[in-house]
Structure 1
């Protein structure tokens, strides 16, 4: 994760926005009063919020963990598009 100062971020806002979106990498913007912020692409933010929502519910979390265990143990079925 890259970091830049507030004044540098302000001067190069367009470039930093493109970089964050194109590279799917967050950016720390620092300030003198240490009230730093993190800039990330909206798609990355949406993904993060969705993941937090999914694991916030214990039943969902258990179901996801069980499904991952089944996958790791080879207990799954592969379907082709024609099967659907």
Structure 2
């Protein structure tokens, strides 16, 4: 994770936005005047993935289903089947 000062970040905003999108890494933006004032820049793609992971991990029912599925994979208790394409109630 790279860190950059606020002034440098402001002067090179486009470069840093491209960098976090290309590298899939975060960038810490620091302030020389106040060390407690820091921010993190990340791509929207990575932010969306992080939010989705947080949603899943905060839902005990989903976590339980994921663990159950992983256990079935470990125990070789899986089946291959065709995906259903007809979602009608007929």
Give the TM-score taking structure 1 as reference length: 0.85
1:71 is displaced (CA, Å) by 2.0
1:69 is displaced (CA, Å) by 2.1
Alignment of 1:26-65 (within 5 A): 26-32=26-32, 33-34=34-35, 35-65=37-67
Secondary structure of the structure 2 residue equivalent to 1:16 = helix
Aligned Cα root-mean-square deviation (Å): 1.4
2:6 match: 6
Structure (1 or 2) with the greater helix fraction: 1
Query: Any unmatched runs of 5+ in structure 1?
Result: none
1:15 match: 15
Query: Any unmatched runs of 5+ in structure 2?
Result: 84-90
Q: In structure 1, how many angstroms separate the alpha carbons of the residues matched to 2:45 and 2:60?
A: 25
Q: In structure 2, how many angstroms separate the alpha carbons of the residues matched to 1:31 and 1:68?
A: 44
Cα offsets for 1:17-68 (capped at 9, x unmatched): 0000111111001112121100000111011001100110111111112212
